[in-house]
């Protein structure tokens, strides 16, 4: 009885391994056809399929959909569910691309992005779906990172519960949670149309991007801090507002162009301007209420024009309206050194007085220093204000 059981088990194992071996060869043949169909170039000797775990390893892979650009990767892995080999079309568990490089002959803004790493975890994607280019209506998780040659614009993207949809000559992406660099986005709806227009909607605001030679941007109810976080920049301002302007990405680094913004009911982070000015100017305010608040400055509205030149930002026509102050000024920021230099004028809301207080902000943008410029005009205005109070 024991010998018979062992014999049956041996026959079963032989048949199983035979089936797996046949399916393994069949899978390799299927994938080679899929690669050719999707402009993926690879030599047969650079394809290796191991059984435990069931992973197809590709070396020296080139993706060349067009003549003017291509992606080259030294290594890529595709992992399958082991027992899905018994199916006609095995199920893909992971797709990973390691340290790929993007080359472009005509687009300097795309030239030589390096260190492209991709980890794609689909939930219901099979080999036949790859062959038929059927990526739609299938949930997935994605991790993507890449950098430029000088590392000025590193990008890290994480998508959780994403779904691709196709409708009305447009591709839509629905995402539950997305992280782009330092920005956390929720309930994302992105639509890309055939005329290079992107409509972006999320809980953090909406953006319309019209891409031609440059990128025309229109944003509504956008969290300003989220925009800067997406660019890996620490924002000194929070609040929702509108942005508009035109940017160009001539190189793989921060953009060139102009943006303007208008923010309502926000905060200037890390500095209480009212408390600072009150040390020099007699302003009537609730001192106890001010002490109970944080070091931030609340404002009714803030607007400015931003002139972007890669990692340098020129700020023009800056205006900020606060309960007891009005601020105007200009400045510049260097993102590579995190240095700021602003020349501002404060206009306190004091009845029957036109008082202008010039203040310079300088140093590290995250811990700014300031200096009140006691020029002759300010000294004369203060003397007149003192005389008025003594009457």
Distance of alpha carbon 227 from alpha carbon 232, whole angstroms:
9
Q: Does the residue 111 lie in any domain?
A: yes
For the chain, what is the domain count? 1
Residue 365 has what pLDDT?
82
Residue 61: burial class (beta carbons within 10 Å; 0-12, 13-18, 19+): buried
Distance of alpha carbon 278 from alpha carbon 287, whole angstroms:
10
The helix (H) or strand (E) run that includes residue 156 is: strand 155-167
Residue 301 has what pLDDT?
95
Q: What is the pLDDT of residues 267-284, one digit of tens each?
A: 988 888 888 887 877 665
Nearest CA to 179 out of 230, 231, 219 is that of 230
Q: Does the residue 220 lie in any domain?
A: no
| Structural domain that includes position 67 | 24-147
Residue 14 has what pLDDT?
59
Distance of alpha carbon 39 from alpha carbon 64, whole angstroms:
6
Q: Please state whether the predicted TM-score (pTM) of the whole model is above 0.95.
A: no
Nearest CA to 157 out of 171, 147, 172 is that of 147
Who contacts 36 (Cβ-Cβ below 8 Å, separation ≥6)?
none
Q: Does the residue 70 lie in any domain?
A: yes
Instruction: Map residue 328 onto helix, strand or coil.
Output: strand
The end-to-end CA distance of the chain, in Å, is 119
Q: Does the residue 3 lie in any domain?
A: no
Q: Does the residue 130 lie in any domain?
A: yes
Structure tokens at 366: 């995250």
Q: Does the residue 118 lie in any domain?
A: yes
Residue 251 CA, chain-centre distance (Å), reads 17
Chunked into runs of 10 residues, the chain (391 residues) has average pLDDT values of: 54 56 72 85 86 87 84 93 75 92 69 83 82 80 83 82 87 94 94 90 94 89 91 84 87 76 91 82 60 75 91 92 91 88 88 79 86 78 66 60
Structure tokens at 213: 């030679």
Residue 314 has what pLDDT?
94
Residue 296 has what pLDDT?
84
- What are the φ/ψ torsions at residue 116 (nearest 5 degrees)? -80, 115
Residue 9 has what pLDDT?
54
Residue 7: burial class (beta carbons within 10 Å; 0-12, 13-18, 19+): exposed
Q: What is the pLDDT of residues 16-54, one digit of tens each?
A: 555 566 666 777 778 888 888 888 998 888 888 887 788
- CA distances 382 to 25, 246, 285, 286, Å, are 89, 43, 18, 22
Residue 174 has what pLDDT?
95
Q: Which residue has the tokens 């000025």?
A: 152
Q: Does the residue 97 lie in any domain?
A: yes
Distance of alpha carbon 188 from alpha carbon 206, whole angstroms:
10
Structure tokens at 168: 């009305």
Q: Does the residue 94 lie in any domain?
A: yes
């Amino acid at each position: 009885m024991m010998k018979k059981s062992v014999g049956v088990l041996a026959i079963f194992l032989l048949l199983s391994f035979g089936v797996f071996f046949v399916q393994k060869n069949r899978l390799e043949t299927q994938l080679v056809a899929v690669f050719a169909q999707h402009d993926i170039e690879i030599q047969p000797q650079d394809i290796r399929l191991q059984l435990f775990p069931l992973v197809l390893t590709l070396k020296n892979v080139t993706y060349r959909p067009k003549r003017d650009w291509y992606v080259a990767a030294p290594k890529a892995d595709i992992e399958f569910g082991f027992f899905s080999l018994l199916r006609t079309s095995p199920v893909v568990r992971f797709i990973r691309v390691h340290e790929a490089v993007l080359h472009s002959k005509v687009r300097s803004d795309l030239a030589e992005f390096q260190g492209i790493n991709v980890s794609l975890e689909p939930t219901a994607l099979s080999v036949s779906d790859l062959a038929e280019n059927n990526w739609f209506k299938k949930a997935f998780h994605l991790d993507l990172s890449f950098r430029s040659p000088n590392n000025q614009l590193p990008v890290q993207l994480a998508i959780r519960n994403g779904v691709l949809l196709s409708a009305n000559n447009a591709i839509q992406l629905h995402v539950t949670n997305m992280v782009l660099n330092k920005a956390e986005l929720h309930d994302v709806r992105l639509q890309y149309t055939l005329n290079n227009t992107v409509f972006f909607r999320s809980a953090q605001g909406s953006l319309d991007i019209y891409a031609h030679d440059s990128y025309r941007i229109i944003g509504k109810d956008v969290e300003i801090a989220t925009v800067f976080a997406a660019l890996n920049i620490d924002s000194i301002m929070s609040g929702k507002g509108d942005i508009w302007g035109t940017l160009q990405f001539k190189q793989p680094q921060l953009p060139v162009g102009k943006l303007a913004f208008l923010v309502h009911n926000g905060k200037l982070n890390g500095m209480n301007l009212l408390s600072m000015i009150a040390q020099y100017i007699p302003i009537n305010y609730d001192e106890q209420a001010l002490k109970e608040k944080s070091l931030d400055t609340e404002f009714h509205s803030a607007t400015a024009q931003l002139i972007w030149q890669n990692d340098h930002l020129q700020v023009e026509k800056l205006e900020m309206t606060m309960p007891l102050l009005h601020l105007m000024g200009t400045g510049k920021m260097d993102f590579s050194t995190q240095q700021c230099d602003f020349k501002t004028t404060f206009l306190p809301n004091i009845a029957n007085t036109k008082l202008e207080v010039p203040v310079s902000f300088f140093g590290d943008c995250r811990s700014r220093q300031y200096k009140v410029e006691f020029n002759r005009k300010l000294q004369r205005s203060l003397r007149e204000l003192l005389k008025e109070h003594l009457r």
